[in-house]
């Protein structure tokens, strides 16, 4: 394994370092113990702060954003992500609160795909389908972590080596993720990966947001805009049909600011299949430049969140499977639709849909992606 990792590290250096900025002494990160996994691995909690009173707490277990403090219009900080106070709760029952997702975010139909004529069978952990990397995806591993040089803020560098065959995926994959909390009130996530064999990669982040504050009720009064005029409609199991369909005139049309709850109860086939919103929007972009994908406004707090990404698509999930059984921070039960996710990504089931943009990563190439969650006060 060490020989393979050295080989992949050499590949990464040849392709160019992703994380280059200021000197390490400029970083502003504190760390503390956060518990021990069942197999005895120590886990830490890292706190990033900026000059405006924002604070992000991130653990190297699953790369989870445990809390994200953002001031409201009166300057009072509030935690805007769902999660737990203790590591044991994340290990026991975590519906991906705040986690890094890989190797493949979202679903792969029938838990299998064929690459270069070889069929690869994955874990079926969502009915007959594969979801978010499998039984032990990147959300459930302990990442190597260190304070990192952060351009315009404080940063945390995470690294994980996913061995060949893990969860059924081919190739040893070296993954680097850089979290930066900038002084422009942005949580920036930069992803990089290289592989020694052809494989598929689709990394994303899975925070459940409630801009009124976690545990404060539903997100139905949040006002959402998504810069997309098409989506990938789904069939049974929420696997895309392979079509691209216009959203105009449907409940999936968020081209103009719209309350999340305004049309969520409509008798619409797509909403009935997903139990609400759990769909992939095709962003209005033709390049991989960092562009604005979505904007969310929360009227009571005055908080606004913008999502920028280099990715071609965005999954909006309206917390349809939250039921109150997950008891979160400060004893808050996370009730039905009390959080939403905006997951930047390639399209679901792309390995089985040649008409979709490719998610294949070949040796000698580098996977790179960036997403920014930017916060603004009204």
Measured CA to CA, the distance from residue 267 to residue 279 in angstroms comes to: 16
* Catalytic-residue membership of 298: no
Q: Return the SS3 of 228.
A: coil
Instruction: Answer whether 28's CB lies under 8 Å from 154's CB.
Output: yes
Measured CA to CA, the distance from residue 144 to residue 123 in angstroms comes to: 25
Measured CA to CA, the distance from residue 202 to residue 169 in angstroms comes to: 12
Phi, psi of 343 (to 5 degrees): -105, 110
**Which residue from 157, 217, 219 is spatially nearest to 188, judged by alpha carbons?**
157
Residue with tokens 């009915």: 127
Measured CA to CA, the distance from residue 169 to residue 112 in angstroms comes to: 10
Measured CA to CA, the distance from residue 6 to residue 172 in angstroms comes to: 11
Burial call 346-373: b when 16+ CB within 10 Å, e when fewer:
bbbbbbbbeebeebbbeeeeebebbbbb
Q: Which of 132, 157, 206, 332 is catalytic?
A: 206
Rg (CA), the chain: 20
CA distances from 29 to 71, 122, 124, 152, 192 (A): 20, 37, 38, 13, 22
183 token code pair: 């002084």
CA distances from 93 to 83, 96, 140, 178, 327 (A): 11, 9, 11, 26, 10
Q: Return the SS3 of 190.
A: strand
Measured CA to CA, the distance from residue 223 to residue 295 in angstroms comes to: 8
Residue with tokens 């900080």: 77
Q: Return the SS3 of 331.
A: helix
Q: Which of 120, 167, 343, 346 is catalytic?
A: 343
Burial class (CB in 10 A: 0-12, 13-18, 19+), 121: exposed
Burial class (CB in 10 A: 0-12, 13-18, 19+), 378: exposed
* Catalytic-residue membership of 206: yes
Residues tagged active-site:
206, 343
């Amino acid at each position: 394994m060490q020989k393979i990792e050295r080989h992949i590290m050499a590949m990464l250096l040849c392709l160019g370092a992703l994380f280059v900025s200021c000197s390490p002494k400029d970083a502003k990160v504190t760390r503390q113990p956060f518990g021990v996994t069942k197999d005895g691995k120590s886990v830490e909690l890292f706190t990033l702060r900026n000059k405006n009173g924002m604070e992000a707490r991130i653990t190297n277990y699953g790369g989870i954003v445990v809390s994200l403090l953002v001031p409201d219009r009166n300057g009072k900080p509030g935690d805007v992500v769902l999660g737990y106070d203790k590591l044991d709760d994340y290990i026991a029952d975590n519906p991906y609160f705040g986690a890094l997702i890989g190797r493949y975010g979202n679903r792969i139909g029938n838990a299998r795909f064929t690459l270069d004529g070889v069929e690869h069978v994955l874990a079926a952990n969502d009915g007959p389908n594969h979801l978010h990397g499998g039984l032990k995806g990147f959300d459930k591993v302990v990442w190597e972590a260190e304070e990192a040089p952060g351009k315009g803020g404080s940063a945390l560098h995470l690294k994980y080596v996913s061995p060949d065959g893990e969860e059924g995926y081919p190739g040893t994959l070296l993954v680097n993720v850089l979290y930066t909390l900038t002084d422009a009130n942005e949580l920036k996530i930069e992803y990089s990966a290289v592989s020694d064999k052809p494989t598929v990669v689709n990394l994303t982040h899975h925070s459940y947001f409630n801009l009124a504050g976690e545990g404060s009720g539903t997100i139905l009064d949040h006002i959402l805009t998504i810069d997309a005029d098409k989506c990938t409609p789904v069939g049974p199991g929420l696997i895309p049909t392979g079509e691209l369909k216009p959203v105009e005139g449907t409940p999936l049309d968020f081209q103009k600011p719209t309350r999340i709850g305004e049309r969520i109860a409509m008798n619409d086939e797509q909403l009935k299949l997903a139990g609400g919103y759990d769909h992939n929007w095709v962003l209005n972009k033709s390049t991989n430049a960092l562009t604005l994908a979505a904007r969310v406004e929360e009227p009571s707090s005055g908080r606004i969140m913008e999502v920028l990404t280099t990715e071609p698509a965005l999954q909006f999930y309206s917390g349809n499977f939250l039921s109150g059984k997950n008891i979160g921070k400060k004893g808050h039960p996370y009730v039905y639709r009390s959080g939403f996710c905006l997951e930047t990504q390639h399209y679901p089931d792309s390995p089985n849909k040649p008409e979709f943009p490719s998610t294949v990563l070949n040796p000698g190439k580098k996977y790179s992606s960036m997403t920014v969650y930017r916060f603004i006060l009204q």
